[in-house]
Amino acid sequence: MRVSRLMLVTQRDVPAEAEIVSHQLLVRGGYIRRVTSGIYAYMPLMWRVLRKIKAIVEEEMDNAGALQTLLPQLHPSELWERSGRWQSYTAGEGIMFHLMDRQKRSLGLGPTHEEVITKIADEQIHSYKQLPVNIYQIQTKFRDEIRPRFGLMRSREFIMKDSYSFHSNEKDLGKTYKSMEVTYKRIFARCGLETVAVDADSGAIGGSASQEFMVTADAGEDLILTSKDGLYAANQEKAVSIPKEAILHNPSESKTISTPNQNSILELCSTNNLEPSQIVKVIIMIAILEEQVEQPLLLSIRGDQEINEVKVINFVAETINKQVIKLDQVNDEEKNRLKLDHIPFGFLGPDLKDNVLENISGWQKQFLRVTDHSAASLDCFVCGANVKDKHRIGMSWEKLGELTNKADIRKAQKGESCVHDPTMKLEERHGIEIGHIFQLGRKYSKSLQATFTNEQGQEEAFWMGCYGLGITRLAQAAIEQHHDEHGICWPLPIAPFEAVIVVINMKEPIQEEISGNIYKAMLAKGIDVLLDDRSERAGVKFKDADLIGIPWRIVVGRDAANGKVEIVQRVSRETLLVDSEQAIQRILQEKLSK
């Protein structure tokens, strides 16, 4: 392709709307144009990048035995009503774009394809003999994101590879799940990305296992915790660790002390010469369940630790076997509205009686009590006395009465010891989630009544897995990982062009001839090459080549008369003066080695 024909429009100024460097470079390099909030046009350069990523994904998925399809983007609402997601995806979360057709039938634009694919699997697969299958598609998905941002990182229309596997038993699902993990790692490695696979929360979607693939980058919105030996990685919602040792609390007697206005751990400690780890902190939260049931929770945790709300939600959902819509703290407004003055916030103990709930409208009348292991393992501690301005020292669980539920509801933090090896400390990094694999189990197949006949001749719901991979997000994440002050440095396998020939002076016949020959020769060898034939000054061409990030540059200039050209690597800036034939060979070599 000749640059003069490429519709290349680069910008010197950074658009005000672009916050992170990858977004800025995509806009400045003319890769994308915003059409409206969260909706982008992929310009010719961008489309080439996306096609290369798609090709790699397709190759690896096909190698893993997956089958490519293309599924509809308009989904009938009935299908989503059957899985129980229509309400929450349209009215509730509102993440699903929906519309009426002229027949007044309700349709939605697919944010994901579980419903459609499960329906098709049900219609097409009748016997265990047809299993397993793994079906995938790469296409545009729609999500009416609450807050689109960072260009393609979180857009409302985006390209995703999504696959779904169907199995006759859980073990077989595990096998495909594992093979997808390997496939994903190969895909990311081939795209030149450094990724970390982390244990993830499968929470609301359910299932037994789930892994996220994170591109490590400072601009990432997710926090991940890893161990240096590479044996442990998890996102913050799921991460576990061993908290630091508590400081021994061992007063001569247990008694109630007066602690006027000391309703925070900090004040309590500084006034009474205590350590946060000697205190059991008690927090009331409200879990909103299905049908607007409001379940009060009484959470106890060591004073120096923090609550992990996702773990709390999972615990509640498991314990009472109901879906948790969300978790709320009790704020001041609510304290006033519900007239909670009789509850001595700031002075609560784990033995707070249920009778404080008697006159609170809307709440269930019994606490669901949970004690985090960090608190449960304390032999002797300080806690609130359930009376304003009073705490108790030298307390123990025996004195308070038996503990009901113990669970891990604690937020793991960097610097804490790893569970698999206490000498290892957790490190914190930011990541961009570009892939997520799940063992769904039978949740969707059951709700959609998608079944097959098993070996015993009985109807059984499919075991399912699902495997997402954000194509457009991956492209931008790659820039986040591969750029410098001059622009993008695409990894060769996903670069829009592998090389660019910069002709210093188009009016010089020798330069024009040599560059033309190299161009033709490279095309003949299958190299994706750009010929910058514009009558721009050299500086402009160099700047543009750097900005759009072509991995190799061949400069045809002052040495052309001697049959020499320069070959420059974008990332390292290494420059070699060689014959044109050598330049072609070098790039061909690089291409084939990837």
**Strand 222-227, strand 209-216: pairing:** unpaired
Q: Residue 436 interacts with RNA (CB under 7 A)? A: yes
Q: Residue 557 interacts with RNA (CB under 7 A)? A: yes
Closest to RNA by CB, 302 or 473: 473
Piece of the chain touching RNA by CB under 7 A; list 127-135, 420-428, 518-526, 543-551: 543-551
Closest to RNA by CB, 34 or 586: 34
User: Which member of 247, 248, 540, 576 binds RNA (CB under 7 A)?
Assistant: 540
DSSP readout, 206-251?
--SEEEEEEEE-TT-SEEEEEETTSS-EEETTT---BPPPPPP---
Gap between the Cα atoms of 584 and 578, Å rounded: 10
Closest to RNA by CB, 212 or 416: 212
Q: Residue 571 interacts with RNA (CB under 7 A)? A: no
Gap between the Cα atoms of 41 and 33, Å rounded: 5
DSSP readout, 92-158?
IS--S-EEE-TT--EEEE-S--HHHHHHHHHHH--BGGG--EEEEEEEEEE---SS-BTGGGB-SEE
The secondary structure of residue 9, as a DSSP letter, is -
Closest to RNA by CB, 349 or 549: 549
Count residues contacting RNA (CB under 7 A)? Answer: 66
Q: Are 261 and 267 in contact (CB under 8 A)?
A: yes
The token pair at 5 is 């024909």
Piece of the chain touching RNA by CB under 7 A; list 119-127, 178-186, 245-253, 470-478: 470-478
Report in angstroms how near the CB of residue 175 gets to RNA at its nearest.
Answer: 22
Closest to RNA by CB, 391 or 436: 436
Gap between the Cα atoms of 552 and 529, Å rounded: 9
Tell me which residues in 333-392 interact with RNA (CB under 7 A).
none
Piece of the chain touching RNA by CB under 7 A; list 41-49, 72-80, 143-151, 282-290: 143-151
Gap between the Cα atoms of 186 and 190, Å rounded: 6
Piece of the chain touching RNA by CB under 7 A; list 373-381, 448-456, 491-499, 536-544: 536-544
Report in angstroms how near the CB of residue 251 gets to RNA at its nearest.
Answer: 38
Q: Residue 469 interacts with RNA (CB under 7 A)? A: yes
Report in angstroms how near the CB of residue 403 gets to RNA at its nearest.
Answer: 28
Report in angstroms how near the CB of residue 435 gets to RNA at its nearest.
Answer: 5
Q: Are 420 and 234 in contact (CB under 8 A)?
A: no
Q: Are 96 and 108 in contact (CB under 8 A)?
A: yes
Q: Residue 426 interacts with RNA (CB under 7 A)? A: no
Tell me which residues in 148-207 interact with RNA (CB under 7 A).
148-150, 152-155, 158, 160, 204
User: Which member of 58, 181, 222, 275 binds RNA (CB under 7 A)?
Assistant: 222
Tell me which residues in 8-67 interact with RNA (CB under 7 A).
9-17, 19, 28, 34, 36-38
Q: Residue 470 interacts with RNA (CB under 7 A)? A: yes
The token pair at 537 is 């000054």
Report in angstroms how near the CB of residue 14 gets to RNA at its nearest.
Answer: 6
Q: Residue 115 interacts with RNA (CB under 7 A)? A: no
Q: Which residues of 135-148 are buried (b: 16+ CB within 10 A; e: fewer)?
A: bbbbbebbbbbeeb
Q: Are 8 and 30 in contact (CB under 8 A)?
A: yes
Residue that the structure tokens 């016997």 belong to: 127
Closest to RNA by CB, 148 or 349: 148
Report in angstroms how near the CB of residue 587 gets to RNA at its nearest.
Answer: 17
Closest to RNA by CB, 406 or 586: 586
Gap between the Cα atoms of 429 and 363, Å rounded: 39
Per the DSSP assignment, residues forming a β-bridge with 196 are: 214
Q: Residue 85 interacts with RNA (CB under 7 A)? A: no
User: Which member of 70, 103, 123, 146 binds RNA (CB under 7 A)?
Assistant: 146
Gap between the Cα atoms of 103 and 125, Å rounded: 31
Q: Residue 435 interacts with RNA (CB under 7 A)? A: yes
Q: Residue 306 interacts with RNA (CB under 7 A)? A: no
**Strand 381-384, strand 406-407: pairing:** unpaired
Q: Residue 427 interacts with RNA (CB under 7 A)? A: no
User: What is the strand order of the sheet 74-76 is part of?
Assistant: 74-76, 106-109, 98-100
The CA-CA-CA angle for residues 202, 203, 209, to 5°, reads 25
Given the rule CB under 7 A, which residues bind RNA? 9-17, 19, 28, 34, 36-38, 93, 95, 112, 143, 145-150, 152-155, 158, 160, 204, 212, 221-222, 310, 326, 433-436, 468-470, 472-473, 486, 504-505, 507, 537-540, 542-544, 546-547, 555, 557-559, 566, 568, 573
